[in-house]
Structure formats: structure tokens, C-alpha cells
Amino acid sequence: MRDALRDTSKDGRAAEDTAEDPGSGAGAGTAREAAMGPASRKGARGGRSGDRSDGRGGAAAEGNGAGPAPMLRIDDATVRLGGRPVLDAVGLSVAEHEIVCVLGPSGSGKSTLLRAVAGLQPLDAGRVLLEGRDLEGVPAHRRGVGLMFQDHQLFPQRDVGGNVAFGLRVRGADRERQAARVGELLDLVGLPGSGRRAVASLSGGEQQRVALARALAPRPRLLMLDEPLGQLDRSLRERLVVELRELFGELGTTVLAVTHDQGEAFALADRVVVMREGRIAQSGSPLDVWQRPADAFVARFLGFENVVAATVEGDTASTPWGVLPVPRGTPRGEVTLLVRPAGVRLVAATRGLRCTVAARTFRGTHVAVRLQPPHAPRLEAACALRDAPGTGDEVGVEFDAAEVVVLGGGPDA
Ligand SMILES: Nc1ncnc2c1ncn2[C@@H]1O[C@H](COP(=O)(O)OP(=O)(O)OP(=O)(O)O)[C@@H](O)[C@H]1O
């Protein structure tokens, strides 16, 4: 049935979105590359998007004449609420077919950014362009973006089909067309034949799928998701996030999503944007951000704890944990280092930095071991399940240069 959707999704633009229905959008079909999977999406994307970011990993601002205009471009977006900037000159571009996930701690401005793009939050400065068109003064229901919020916002009095068809009906699609499209969408989201079911009879995950079908129904040019899987349990979230990525890959949907769940963001995104206090701390591919966090804030936000001030001389650095090897080419002087847990190797207590095992946490694929060295901050090591020492054990620690990363800014960033 995905094929059916592919065929019909070429048929042009729908009418405008409706303010009454935040879960639906409008606009051109984005299925031009419908048969493309996530890998080929990336190929198609090549270098078309980037952010004017404060962090490492962002490309130059768009609009410099190099390559086509991005689907979405946000320039210097600033929002002040309660006397302070909640968005502070944020620049972000999203290429057509790209999935961008905005991550950040609570209160960092993620939802405000989404609301600003949707037209639900006026900007104090800056601008938002969709396909090159400045959206200033364009009301939310005419922006051609689809929105899906974490609490679904389904209409309880309508059945599943009525919910999915809502955005089509208000655009004047005839009954036959509505029914065909609803059938396609329900097949697409894995709920075939559910059109007559009551919303209240659905599980949380099924409601999430209906909300997604409703948002996709009018073929929005840009789909925006706010904590799309926020209320679901972990196993369902992990399954749905894979399905969503596949689905967006097939449809060629351009997506801007916000989440505070890094696992979700890394699994879903082509590009991850980390926000901090209304600014972009880092933008890059999931691998890039994971391997090279821009600064101590991003590293800690991602859950890395081994962040320390260091002085580099040649191929080594002096740290409170002793002398560590650093990657070749690391500049001399004062730096902040991240040692990934995989780079903290446990050896016999007679070698390396002597530590006491303070705690161990089972992580499924490995055990996270918290180590207390004398007179130095704690360290985290990742150990294979069968090799993990017990709490209270004495161990030695050696460091692996390949897992040592030089961060920007200070250790308290
Ligand atoms: N109407 C308002 N007046 C004053 N401050 C506001 C208002 N709305 C939001 N804020 C503040 O703006 C900041 C950013 O809020 P926003 O909802 O964008 O953050 P977020 O990153 O999405 O957080 P969360 O993950 O908790 O949803 C917060 O500190 C919030 O308290």
C-alpha cells in the first residue's frame, strides 16, 4: 500500500492548513524521491543544508549562492519571553528530505523554535523562510507545515478515519478522495482497516500512529514533530522511531523534530542540533556529534562524564587522572578533554591509575563502572558484561588515545 501512496503523492499541492487542526498540514507532495531509502536520502542531501551555529559541526549559512535553497531556513530567530531571550539569534537550515532533530535540556528553547516556525510564536527578530518564502505575517494555518505534538491532540468524538481525514475535509476534498487517502495513510502507519475504530479504543502507540497519519494526510512540505514519541514506553518508542525513519525515507518527507530523548534523536535524525539556553550549541550528523561533542556542555548532555581540564604537551596531557595520551596534532596548552568510557581500560590494580570501583550499572550491552581514583574526579568505564569488576574492587586504569576528544571551551561550559 505504500506504493499506492507513492503514486498518488505526486499529484500536487493541497490547500492551506487549518489553525483548528494542529495535527495536519498542507503543501506539495514531498515524495519525488519516494523510492529512496535513508541512505540515498543522505546522498541526495549532500551539502545542501547547514546551520549558522555557535557550535562545531555546523556549515555556513545558507543563501550564499552555493547549491539550492534549503526547504526551511531560519535566520537569527530571536524570541524574548519574561524579559529574557528564549531564542537567541538562532540560525538553522533544513534541506529538502532531511530529518533534523533538535535536542536539548528542558527549557533550552526547542518547542519555542518549533512554534516560531509554525507561526504559533511571533519572532522579536529574525525570519523564517519556507522554500525561500519569508513567512512573516503568514498565519499558522497558511504556512504549509504539518505539526504533530506529543499529546496527539486527536479529536475524541471522531473515529480514526475522521481524524485522519480532517485536514483533507477542511480543504474540500471529496468523500471518495478522502476515503482513498485515509486508507492509504492507515496502511502506511500500520493500522489497516482501522478507520471506523473509536480513538478511545486505541493504545497510546496506535494513537500516535493516527496522529502521524493525520499530519501526513495533506502532504505537508515540512513536517514538524514535538516530542513525537514522548508518552510511549521505551520499547514501543524504539520500534516506532525505526519505523518513522523508514517511512520518512520512503516518502522523502522533510522533518524538523524536537525531543529531549537523545536516543530518539540519534536514531531518527540525519542531523542532530543540540540547543542550550536558546542557542545552538552544536549541529552535525549523529555520528559526528556523538564522536566529537563541541564542548563540555554537549558532552555532559550526551551523558559523558569523563570531562576534565588538561594541559597538553606533545602527545600527552596532564590531568587530575595522571598523564593521558592525546590524539596526534592536539595543540599544546590548556584544553578540556573528554575520555569516552570505552577509552578507560581496566587493568590489574598494580598498573596504571589505581581506582576503587564505586558503583556499577547494568546497561544491557555493557556495564557502566564508576571508578574513584584517589584525589581526582570519578571516572566512568564501559566494561564487557563478563569482565566487569564488583563494587569495592581495586583496579588499575589505562587510557586509550583513540577515545580521548579535545573539547572546545572550558570544563565547566
Ligand atoms: N509565555 C512564557 N513566558 C515566559 N517564559 C516562557 C514562556 N513560554 C516559555 N517560556 C520559557 O522559555 C524557555 C524555553 O521554553 P521551551 O518550551 O521552548 O523549552 P523546551 O526546550 O521545549 O523545554 P521542554 O523540553 O521542557 O519542553 C523556558 O525557560 C520557558 O520557561
Is there a single domain that holds both residue 216 and residue 325? Answer: no
Among the residue ranges 35-39, 99-103, 190-194, the one predicted with the least confidence is 35-39
Residue 26 φ then ψ, to 5°:
-150, 170
**Final residue of a structural domain among 235, 270, 292:** 292
Distance 87 CA to ligand 1 centre (A): 10
- List 335's β-bridge partners, or say none: 310
What whole-number percentage of the chain has pLDDT above 70? Answer: 82
Is there a single domain that holds both residue 103 and residue 147? Answer: yes
On whether ipTM exceeds 0.95, the answer is yes
Nearest protein CA to atom 31 of ligand 1, as residue: 107
Distance 243 CA to ligand 1 centre (A): 30
Nearest protein CA to atom 25 of ligand 1, as residue: 106
CATH code, domain carrying 137? 3.40.50.300
Is there a single domain that holds both residue 278 and residue 394? Answer: no
**Final residue of a structural domain among 246, 262, 292:** 292
CA 365 to CA 160: how far, in whole Å?
39
Digit-coded pLDDT (tens) for 52-79: 444 433 333 334 445 667 999 999 999 9
In a domain, 412, yes or no: no
User: What ligand 1 atom has the least distance to the C-alpha of 260?
Assistant: 25
Instruction: Determine whether the shortest distance from the Cβ of 111 to ligand 1 is under 6 A.
Output: yes
Nearest protein CA to atom 26 of ligand 1, as residue: 106
Average pLDDT over every residue of 114-143 = 93
Q: Could you give the number of structural domains in the chain?
A: 2
Digit-coded pLDDT (tens) for 322-342: 999 998 888 899 999 999 999
* Sign of torsion over alpha carbons 152, 158, 162, 166: negative
Distance 375 CA to ligand 1 centre (A): 40
The residue count of the chain comes to 413
Report residue 355 CA to chain centroid gap: 36
Is there a single domain that holds both residue 78 and residue 152? Answer: yes
Is there a single domain that holds both residue 228 and residue 367? Answer: no
CA distances in angstroms from 37 to 2, 24, 48, 98, listed in the order given: 13, 24, 18, 12
Residue 31 φ then ψ, to 5°:
-100, 25
Distance 400 CA to ligand 1 centre (A): 40
